[in-house]
């Protein structure tokens, strides 16, 4: 709720329901997921978020705002999660089909960590990637616990899985790459312009009791490119490079 760029964004309404409601609704559509838990920062500003979860029968835990690794570890521990799936609450267009493929990839080998390769707007990153906002990570509780016990760098505590995927010699990591080239789209919500784009997509595609997917979004934007105009100037992929290179 304390976002500097878009305060209160997770509870901003899209078609009359908070953005977080839509995220939870979409993630619950993933066949292999047993439980969806919102890991809420423990500050007073997020009390509204805790109340929303309680009144909408959404499981939640509270933990450190800055030590996000600790918050995730305690949430996973409290719900006996193994593996753990991480999706951030600024991705209202997360795709259940893509998340299910990620889980299948994780289970296909003895992996410690698997991630959707997002960042189609970052040409310097290798492989075909999905658009920004389709991010998801799947990892073992054992890997999470090792990171929680050993990580000292503040960046590792903030980015949750950075300790794991930067140590590929120690953890077996893989990526779910795209099978086609996607256009550079921003489907995440960091700025007011992003929220406008996400809202427009929902207005066109959302149907009660149904789930629209990435293919539907790409098809829509191909037919009506004006929808994406508000945040086109924000497409640069720099945040992916910043996290990967720091």
The whole-number average pLDDT for the span 87-93 is 96
Examine residue 193 and state whether it is found in any structural domain, yes or no: yes
Q: Which residue has the tokens 């920004």?
A: 132
The pLDDT of residue 124 is 55
Query: Which pLDDT tens digit goes with each residue over 131-189?
Result: 999 999 999 999 999 999 999 999 999 999 999 999 999 999 999 999 999 988 999 99
Examine residue 2 and state whether it is found in any structural domain, yes or no: no
The closest of 173, 100, 83 to 134, measured between CA atoms, is: 100
pTM for this predicted structure: 0.93
Confidence of residue 119 (pLDDT cuts 50, 70, 90): confident
Examine residue 174 and state whether it is found in any structural domain, yes or no: yes
The whole-number average pLDDT for the span 199-212 is 97
How far apart are the C-alpha atoms of 18 and 11, rounded to whole Å? 4
User: Who's near 5: CB < 8 A, 6+ residues apart?
Assistant: 190, 191
The 8-class DSSP code of residue 42 comes to: -
Helices (H), the chain: 19-27, 47-55, 68-78, 96-107, 141-150, 154-159, 162-165, 192-205, 214-223, 238-245
Examine residue 1 and state whether it is found in any structural domain, yes or no: no
Examine residue 41 and state whether it is found in any structural domain, yes or no: yes
pLDDT at 220 over 60: yes
Examine residue 226 and state whether it is found in any structural domain, yes or no: yes
Number of structural domains in the chain: 1
The pLDDT of residue 245 is 46
130 beta partners: 118
CATH of the domain at 138: 3.90.550.10
pLDDT at 32 over 70: yes
What is the span of the domain harbouring residue 154? 9-245
How far apart are the C-alpha atoms of 245 and 233, rounded to whole Å? 23
Structural contact between residues 60 and 54, judged by C-beta atoms closer than 8 angstroms: yes
The whole-number average pLDDT for the span 27-53 is 96
Examine residue 188 and state whether it is found in any structural domain, yes or no: yes
Structure tokens at 110: 């003895």
The pLDDT of residue 125 is 66
Examine residue 4 and state whether it is found in any structural domain, yes or no: no
Structural contact between residues 81 and 143, judged by C-beta atoms closer than 8 angstroms: no
Average pLDDT over the chain reads 93
């Amino acid at each position: 709720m304390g976002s500097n760029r878009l305060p209160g964004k997770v509870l901003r309404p899209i078609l009359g329901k908070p953005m977080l409601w839509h995220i939870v609704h979409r993630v619950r559509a993933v066949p292999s997921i047993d439980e969806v838990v919102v890991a809420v920062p423990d500050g007073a500003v997020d009390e509204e978020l805790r109340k929303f979860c309680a009144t909408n029968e959404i499981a939640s835990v509270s933990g450190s705002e800055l030590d996000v690794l600790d918050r995730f570890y305690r949430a996973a521990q409290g719900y006996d999660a193994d593996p753990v799936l991480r999706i951030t609450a600024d991705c209202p267009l997360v795709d259940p089909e893509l998340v299910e493929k990620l889980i299948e990839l994780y289970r296909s080998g003895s992996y410690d960590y698997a991630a959707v390769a997002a960042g189609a707007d970052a040409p310097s990153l290798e492989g075909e990637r999905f658009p920004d906002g389709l991010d998801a990570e799947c990892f073992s509780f054992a890997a999470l616990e090792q990171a929680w016990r050993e990580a000292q760098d503040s960046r590792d505590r903030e980015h949750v899985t950075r300790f794991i995927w930067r140590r590929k010699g120690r953890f077996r990591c893989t990526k779910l790459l795209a099978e086609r080239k996607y256009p550079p789209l921003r489907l995440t919500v960091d700025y007011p312009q992003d929220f406008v784009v996400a809202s427009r997509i929902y207005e066109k595609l959302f149907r009660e009791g149904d789930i629209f997917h990435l293919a539907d979004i790409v098809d829509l934007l191909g037919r009506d490119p004006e929808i994406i105009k508000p945040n086109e100037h924000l497409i640069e992929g720099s945040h992916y490079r910043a996290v990967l290179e720091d």
